[in-house]
Amino acid sequence: MKPDITWLDNPEVFRVGQLPAHSDHSYTLEGKEAALCLNGQWDFAYSRCAAERPVEFYKEDFDRSQWDKIMVPGHIELAGYDKVHYINVMYPWEGMYYRRPAGFGEEKYAKGQFSEADYNPVGSYVTKFDLPEHFEGKRVCISFEGVEQAMYLWINGQFVGYAEDSFTPSEFDLTPYIRKEGNLLAVEVHKRSTAAYLEDQDFFRFFGIFRDVKLYAKGDVHVEDLWVKPVLHEGNTSGSLTVEVKLSGDLEEATLEYVLKDKDGTVKLSGVEKCREAFTLAPGETMEVIPWDNHNPYLYDLELVLKNKEGKELECIHQSVGFRRMEIINKVMLLNGQRLKIVGVNRHEWNCRTGRCITLDDMKWDMELFKENNINAVRTCHYPDQIAWYGLCDENGIYCMSETNLESHGSWGKYACLDASWNVPGDFPQWKEVVLDRARTNFETFKNHPSVLFWSLGNESYAGENLAAMNAYFKETDPSRLVHYEGVAVNRAYEDRISDMESRMYAEPWEIEEYLSNNPKKPYILCEYMHDMGNSIGGMKSYMDLFDKYEMFQGGFIWDYIDQAIMVFDEITGEEVLRYGGDFDDRPCDYEFSGNGIVFGDRTPKPALQEVKYYYGLHK
């Protein structure tokens, strides 16, 4: 297979040579670490556009002696190569290029629009690594947990694959090309591709390898995918567990032992199964369980051990399991039979020094702040977060709306008007599979997290056939969760086909009352409200009062958690200062519009937080 630079221009090419998305479970390999982190200083070259990139950089004999070094993970802009740019609704090429998506009008506008652009930066990355001893002879794969926005991958001079979807893992099998020592990994990252139409989130526009890169080895028998399906029965005292397992490797006479334990170590379920490619464990045996919720995020531990015919341990998994029940009864969303009240916040991954490249410590800080301030829910605006965040949500009982990486605001929200004439994904057949793939990856990766109560199709992408297809995918695949999407509020033609709830953003209190007092169709949620830009969060009472007035009012997510600002050294005083859109000569831009957090860019709380804590404490 040969890489093709025009994949950048083609919305129908978004994964080449990638492994299918799968559950995010971690495991040990024969008692050792199964993953090797490849983060660190990599060799790096920056090019302004594809035409200027070092095309043959992946070859082992290519001369990289003049290259720079760059820290992986990180954004290329923050390493000083390309300009930092903040822009909200408009596409980042506004006023620079006339672009229309494939499928709309004359294809001449779509052809070569990214691959031939005179500005579409490329980051060429190279690193070398040796295999750990215990990886030798094993199937070896690589996971890029976040690369913005399109990447080509080579190892040892061989092309491996291509990936988009910046915010979910992109994984590739390196087994055919891997060697014991001196492996040469080469990644070519393009700032923009057709994915840019789908990643028009209101944030700083970055590119590069910005999340962990991990090499992992599969056991001789490997759990490719795990789907735990806990069921909490009515009454909330009993439940059952079904586990769907997909295996690969040398299955002959191999076994899978499983044990489910509660927090005290009491065995709730156990058994041994012969390994097959796909099978179901523990189908539906009733047992006493303690339910999972915000007040008591009770998790069980499911241990899975794969053994070969000699009884040697190949892989061991510890998977958290939470029993909870999400349903809509009489148009009210219920969790474990109780009316669900969301007192939540939208959260971008952000650190003022490293952008969207954040650490586990950042996440833990955020989680502590949530708990201290009675925040019970998070919307992962508007892309899937790092995997660790979902685990923290499970452990801390934070209800999670897991958003698919999709926003195409600039394709329908125009200057002073709504113009959906070239809305993507819209109804264009060329844009269907790519958004379905994003939905599938969101589901497959995070399906085992009890904290995920909602799948969200994405944000501000209008509504059309392709969003309806995403909705149908989630509904068919996962009955244990609800589907959320706000965009039908601007295209009511789809309201019976998209979203289990009436979701609105920034509705005024009287508008909410108007909906809820006029034979409402769906339970009501505010996916964004209380826009905390600067000195704000006034008038929260008017929203909180609706909880007591309308059973179908189920709360909302404040916009948003953290100011997106960047710490730089002031050119005049030399002191560290926080800067925002427009401060980098970035135009057109939306200036301070990214500063809407309940915490400042450096994570210190804004004064308004005490108000949030007070009202959320009344309702959580």
Partner 1 sequence: MDCTNKLRIVFGDATFGVHGEEFHYIFSYGSGGLESLVVKGKEWLYRSPRPTFWRALTDNDRGCRFHLRSGMWHSSDMFQNCTGIRLWVDGQEYEKPWAPNNNQWMDKSFAEKICISYTYETITVPATTVEVTYTVTVEGTIHVNVHYHGKEGLPELPVFGMRFILPTKATGFTYEGLSGETYPDRMAGGVPGVYKVDGMPVTPYMVPQDCGVHMATKWVEITRNYVKSNADHSNEEFSLRFTMDKEPFAFACLPYTAQELENATHHEELPLPRRCVLSILGAVRGVGGINSWGADVEAPYRISGEKDICYSFKIEI
Which residues participate in catalysis according to the annotation?
A: 460, 528
- Per CB under 8 A, 84 contacts partner 1: no
Q: How far is the CB of 81 from partner 1 (least distance, A)?
A: 24
- Per CB under 8 A, 460 contacts partner 1: no
CA torsion, points 597, 600, 605, 611, in degrees to nearest 10? -30
Query: CA 528, CA 503: separation in Å to the nearest integer?
Result: 9
Q: How far is the CB of 375 from partner 1 (least distance, A)?
A: 13
Query: CA 516, CA 509: separation in Å to the nearest integer?
Result: 11
In the list 289, 530, 552, 562, the residue contacting partner 1 (rule: CB under 8 A) is 530
Nearer to partner 1, 285 or 508 (CB): 508
In the list 105, 337, 429, 534, the residue contacting partner 1 (rule: CB under 8 A) is 534
Q: How far is the CB of 401 from partner 1 (least distance, A)?
A: 20
Q: How far is the CB of 105 from partner 1 (least distance, A)?
A: 31
Phi, psi of 298 (to 5 degrees): -80, 125
Query: CA 340, CA 617: separation in Å to the nearest integer?
Result: 15
In the list 80, 105, 176, 538, the residue contacting partner 1 (rule: CB under 8 A) is 538
- Per CB under 8 A, 549 contacts partner 1: no
In the list 145, 532, 560, 586, the residue contacting partner 1 (rule: CB under 8 A) is 532
Nearer to partner 1, 45 or 507 (CB): 507
Region 553-612 residues binding partner 1, contact defined as CB under 8 A: 563, 565, 570, 572-573, 575, 577-580, 583, 592-593, 595-596, 600-601, 604, 606-608, 610-612
Q: How far is the CB of 512 from partner 1 (least distance, A)?
A: 11
Please, where are the H alpha helices in 100-212? Answer: 195-198
Q: How far is the CB of 467 from partner 1 (least distance, A)?
A: 24
Closest of 248, 38, 245, 40 to residue 138, by C-alpha: 248
- Per CB under 8 A, 476 contacts partner 1: no
Q: How far is the CB of 523 from partner 1 (least distance, A)?
A: 21
Q: How far is the CB of 371 from partner 1 (least distance, A)?
A: 17
- Per CB under 8 A, 535 contacts partner 1: yes
In the list 537, 552, 589, 599, the residue contacting partner 1 (rule: CB under 8 A) is 537
- Per CB under 8 A, 310 contacts partner 1: no
DSSP 207: -
Amino acid at 50: A
- Per CB under 8 A, 614 contacts partner 1: yes
Residue reference for tokens 């509660």: 262
In the list 52, 56, 508, 514, the residue contacting partner 1 (rule: CB under 8 A) is 508
In the list 237, 542, 549, 587, the residue contacting partner 1 (rule: CB under 8 A) is 542
Question: Are 348 and 403 in contact, with CB atoms under 8 Å apart?
Answer: no
Residues 6+ apart with CB under 8 A from 566: 78, 84, 204, 352, 353, 355, 578, 579, 580, 583, 601
- Per CB under 8 A, 613 contacts partner 1: yes
In the list 55, 436, 489, 533, the residue contacting partner 1 (rule: CB under 8 A) is 533
Nearer to partner 1, 24 or 532 (CB): 532
- Per CB under 8 A, 182 contacts partner 1: no
Query: CA 50, CA 437: separation in Å to the nearest integer?
Result: 26
List C-alpha distances in Å: 586 to 43, 187, 571.
27, 27, 17
Closest of 241, 243, 245 to residue 284, by C-alpha: 241
Segment holding 122, helix H or strand E: strand 122-129
Which residue stretch of 59-67, 288-296, 436-444, 525-533 sits at the interface with partner 1 (rule: CB under 8 A)? 525-533
Nearer to partner 1, 242 or 536 (CB): 536
Closest of 43, 99, 48 to residue 70, by C-alpha: 43
CA torsion, points 328, 293, 367, 558, in degrees to nearest 10? 30
Dihedral sign from CA coordinates of 156, 160, 166, 169: negative
Phi, psi of 488 (to 5 degrees): -65, -20
In the list 137, 506, 514, 517, the residue contacting partner 1 (rule: CB under 8 A) is 506
Let me know how many helices (H) and strands (E) the chain has, helices first.
Answer: 8, 40
Say how many CA atoms lie within 13 Å of 260 toward its Cβ.
24
How many amino acids of this chain bind partner 1 (CB under 8 A)? 44
Question: Are 461 and 425 in contact, with CB atoms under 8 Å apart?
Answer: yes
- Per CB under 8 A, 419 contacts partner 1: no
Query: If you compute the radius of gyration of the chain from its CA atoms, what whole number of angstroms results?
Result: 24
Q: How far is the CB of 175 from partner 1 (least distance, A)?
A: 49
- Residues forming the site for partner 1 (CB under 8 A): 506, 508-509, 529-542, 563, 565, 570, 572-573, 575, 577-580, 583, 592-593, 595-596, 600-601, 604, 606-608, 610-615
